[in-house]
Amino acid sequence: MASQLFHIFRNNPLGRETFLQSLYFCKVMQASIVIYIPNHKKFLMYFENNIVQVDLDKSYITSQKTAKRNVNELVKEIGIKAIFIKPKTYTASELPDIQPNFDFMCCPRSISDLSSKIGLGYIGPRVRHIVNSAQFPVLLSSPAFNKWQSIAVFFGGSVNAVNALKLGLRINRVSGIPIDVFTQMENKTWESYEKVIDKNDLKKEMNHQVNEWHLFKKRSFEENLYQVPHDALVVLGAFGHSVLKTIVFGSKMEKVHSSLPNNLLIAGPNYVERTHQSPGAFPL
């Protein structure tokens, strides 16, 4: 069974751009797409250790009569397998439940605020909660559809960074798209990063798959972000904690999403590397 990416469809021009990004991701990753066309502005996602209520803005439930037609036209153009789901259980009459048994999920940087109010550096609280809770990576799409020509992995030596590196290497193996690694050296030696690579048995893959490992010793992290190609898929790990009901990620993560317009693929603190393919939780 192929990997599956979950997408909440929004039937307007901004939603089309996000959907095109999901379709492109699926084509590159040889994955199928699981599409939810919502009838209600809220739904629940039941993660292993948490339940997240997703609050959509009204743009997600407008023009529903044309939504599936528009989806089918775009899917046919790309030529990938599409699966439509309808929730079978409801916690309340207008609060459907979704079991997140998939391999990836695509979101705009916010799914609960009107896009006209959103700046590049803003990640909505519900999206943060999803990233913080999910065992799968979350793709945060750029505002306009953009094909990625390379993979840029941020690696700082932490457990989350190792997960991101493994994820980037996995995408490279499946897609053949070249991969680069970016490291901001802060009071550490190159040897210390090498030890982390060796400890996680990644040296062979680093040597054979990675095009270049960029080690930045000078200038600030923000300045060095300029070296990331504008058409790269940025892969990074994130840890989070709750402060006043808002998920706050680490400082590097916050700087990345507030500075780069790229598509971001984030492995959150509960991300689990899959050693098998999706069980196919959503039948046709």
Reported as a single tens digit per residue, the pLDDT across 84-135 is 999 999 999 889 999 999 999 998 866 655 544 444 445 567 788 888 888 9
Together in a domain, 136 and 156? no
Together in a domain, 52 and 130? yes
Together in a domain, 16 and 128? yes
Together in a domain, 73 and 97? yes
In a domain, residue 145? The reply is no
pLDDT at residue 114, rounded to an integer: 52
> What six digits make up the tokens of 185?
């050296």
Together in a domain, 91 and 198? no
Together in a domain, 94 and 58? yes
What is the extent of the structural domain holding 28? Answer: 4-140
Residue 186: partners with Cβ closer than 8 Å, 6 or more residues away: none
Together in a domain, 64 and 165? no
Cβ atoms of 54 and 44 within 8 Å: the answer is yes
3-state DSSP percent of the chain in helix, strand and coil, to 5: 35, 25, 40
Among the candidates 140, 163, 193, a domain finishes at: 140
Residue 154's closest CA among 31, 242, 260?
260
pLDDT at residue 161, rounded to an integer: 92
In a domain, residue 280? The reply is no
Count: domains in the chain: 2
Helix (H, G, I), strand (E, B) or coil at 173: helix
Q: CA dihedral defined by 115, 120, 126, 129, rounded to 10 degrees?
A: 170
> What six digits make up the tokens of 45?
């996602």
Phi, psi of 23 (to 5 degrees): -65, -40
Which residues of the chain have a pLDDT value below 70?
1, 109-124, 239-251, 275-284
Together in a domain, 261 and 166? yes
Check which CATH number belongs to the domain holding 199 and give it.
3.40.50.620
Together in a domain, 114 and 211? no
Side chain identity at residue 180, one-letter code: D
CA–CA gap between residue 28 and residue 50 (Å, rounded): 31
Check which CATH number belongs to the domain holding 99 and give it.
3.40.50
Together in a domain, 174 and 59? no
41-71 burial: b if 16+ Cβ within 10 Å, else e:
bebbbebeeeebebebbeebbeeeeebeebb
Strand positions, DSSP E, the chain: 4-8, 32-36, 42-46, 51-55, 82-84, 90-92, 95-98, 104-107, 138-140, 150-154, 179-184, 210-216, 232-237, 240-243, 246-249, 264-267
pLDDT at residue 240, rounded to an integer: 56
Together in a domain, 121 and 205? no
Together in a domain, 245 and 164? yes
Among the candidates 104, 120, 140, a domain finishes at: 140
